[in-house]
């Protein structure tokens, strides 16, 4: 049965006074609870956030964003509210490319990378960032990724992609994700004329930093770690089920099952 999405609801703030402060506009797609939207707002952008889940839209609106709800495939990005878009950021649904799914790729109805590309094509931002699971860059889907990158390049963008691990960039969790970054070619040329140091290869990836353990990142001591009981002990790393959070970044977090270890299976 085809996946059903809520019908797109046209925004009601389409007038010229939508943003009175005249900051640059950023568009976030598949915005969820708004992490990328908040980051862009912190960088000085007015953000137009999009998601099809009513709960996500309500949360975004409650936190001061102009949230647009509904099926992204019905959004007309040629509408005047998108005319000054400077950056587009989004993580299309990952299920088509996830190792834990069917790996149906472009044959999966949830593949919305084409609509991310359509947004870029219709708004022509200076920059874009697309995030997805690392499986998209793996052997099974690499041809598909290369074809999509070629579409971005045909629109006039310099594009690079790379798998990054959050644990290498200050986060106390090992989480590897693919990032596809693009900069419009004419913006690159302007940077070259202005004497920018890297006009030919304008995308500078962040440098790896020292990984922090889960306990270090959260400020936990052994007593807190045991009382919180939030971590899944990892067999084979240590005989002490509470010690591993002090040895490496985490991988997953589970709901608490009781203080002081109560509720843990026998032998953990």
Helices (H), 21-141: 35-42, 54-62, 113-123
Cα 198 to its chain centre, rounded Å, is 25
Q: Which residues are catalytic?
A: 94
Compute the CA torsion angle 129, 112, 79, 87 (nearest 10 deg): 0
Task: Calculate ∠ Cα 121-22-78, nearest 5°.
Answer: 25
Classified as helix, coil or strand, 6 is coil
Neighbours of 191 (CB within 10 A): 15
Interatomic CA distance for residues 193 and 191, integer angstroms: 5
CB of 213 within 8 A of CB of 172? Answer: yes
């Amino acid at each position: 049965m085809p996946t059903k999405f809520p019908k797109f609801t046209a925004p009601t703030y389409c007038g010229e006074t939508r943003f009175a402060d005249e900051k640059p506009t950023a568009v976030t797609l598949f915005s969820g609870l708004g992490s990328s939207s908040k980051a862009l707002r912190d960088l000085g952008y007015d953000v137009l956030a999009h998601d099809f889940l009513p709960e996500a839209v309500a949360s975004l609106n409650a936190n001061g964003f102009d949230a647009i709800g509904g099926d992204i495939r019905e959004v007309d990005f040629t509408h005047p509210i998108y005319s000054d878009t400077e950056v587009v950021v989004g993580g299309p649904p990952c299920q088509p490319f996830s190792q834990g799914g069917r790996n149906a790729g472009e044959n999966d109805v949830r593949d919305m990378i084409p609509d991310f590309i359509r947004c870029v094509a219709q708004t022509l931002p200076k920059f874009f960032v697309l995030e997805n699971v690392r499986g998209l860059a793996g052997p099974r889907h690499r041809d598909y990724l290369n074809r999509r990158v070629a579409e971005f390049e045909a629109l006039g963008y310099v594009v690079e992609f790379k798998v990054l691990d959050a644990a290498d960039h200050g986060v106390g969790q090992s989480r590897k994700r693919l990032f596809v970054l693009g900069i419009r070619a004419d913006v690159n040329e302007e940077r070259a004329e202005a004497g920018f140091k890297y006009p030919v290869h304008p995308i500078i990836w962040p440098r790896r930093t020292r990984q922090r353990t889960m306990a270090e990142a959260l400020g936990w001591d052994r007593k807190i770690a045991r009382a919180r009981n939030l971590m899944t002990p990892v067999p084979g790393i240590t005989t002490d089920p509470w010690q591993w959070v002090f040895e490496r970044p985490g991988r997953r977090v589970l709901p608490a099952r009781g203080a002081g270890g109560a509720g843990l299976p026998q032998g953990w």
